[in-house]
Amino acid sequence: MLVRPLAPHLSVTPQLSLSDVATVKAQGFRSIIVNRPNGEEAGQPTLVEMQEAASAAGLGFAAIPVLPGKATMEDAREFAAALAALEGPVVAYCRTGVRAATLWALSVGAGLEPDAVLERIAAAGYDLNGLRPRLEALYESSRSARADGPCNGSSDAP
C-alpha cells in the first residue's frame, strides 16, 4: 500500500483491499474516501464492503465514485464536503490515486494557485498537468469574484 500525502489532513493511494483497512487504521488514518465506482475491475471490493470494513475498524467513510477522466465540479464539491465532515487524517483512493488527487485539486483550485496545487500533486508522484487549464480557470474565476464582491462600492446601504 503506497500512501501519498497531498495535504496535512489528506493522503491518496491506489486501490485498497479489505485487508488494507486495518493497515490504514494502524497508520493513523481516521477516515476513508472511495472514488472508484463498483465493478470497475474484477475482484475490487464493493462500496458496501469497504463501508462495512471501515465501520468495523472504527473509521469514517464516504463514497464519491467517479469514472476515469470524468471528475466534475459537483464531484469536487462532494469531495470537499466529505473532507470537512470526516475526521482526519483521511485517505482517499481509486484505482491508481489519480481521481482522488484530481478531486482534491478541483476542490481547492479556487483558493490555491495552480502551480501550488500541481506541485503538491507532483510531489505525491502524479502528473496532472492536464488539469492546468481547469485549475487556472477556477483560480481566475475566484479572483474575479473576490474583486467584484460586495465591497466594490455599489452597496445599496444608506
pLDDT tens digits, 73-89: 999 999 999 999 999 99
Q: Is residue 14 part of a domain?
A: yes
139 domain-assigned: no
pLDDT in tens, 15-67: 999 999 999 999 999 999 999 999 999 999 999 999 999 999 999 999 999 99
> Is residue 47 a part of any domain in this protein?
yes
pLDDT band with cut points at 50, 70 and 90 for residue 156: very low
Residue 103 near residue 75, CB atoms below 8 Å: yes
Q: What is the pLDDT of residue 158?
A: 29
Q: How buried is residue 69: exposed, middle or buried, by Cβ count under 10 Å (0-12/13-18/19+)?
A: exposed
Contact 57, 20 (CB under 8 A): no
Sheet with 60-63, strands from edge to edge, namely 4-7, 10-13, 90-93, 31-34, 60-63
Q: How does pLDDT run across 117-127, given as a tens digit for each residue? A: 999 999 999 99
- Please tell me the distance from the alpha carbon of residue 2 to that of residue 97, in angstroms, as a whole number: 10
The predicted pLDDT at position 152 comes to 46
- Check if the beta carbon of residue 128 is closer than 8 Å to that of residue 104: no
CA distance 24 to 1: 9
The answer to whether residue 28 is domain-embedded is yes
pLDDT tens profile 89-109: 999 999 999 999 999 999 998
> Is position 16 within any domain?
yes
CATH number, domain of 99, equals 3.90.190.10
Domain presence at residue 12: yes
pLDDT of 150 over the 60 cut: no
Q: 50 lies in a domain? A: yes
What is the number of domains present in the chain?
A: 1
Q: Where are the alpha helices (DSSP H) in the chain?
A: 20-26, 47-56, 73-85, 98-108, 114-123, 132-147
In a domain, 151, yes or no: no
Domain that holds residue 83: 4-109
Nearest Cα neighbor of 5 from 129, 109, 125, 112 is: 125
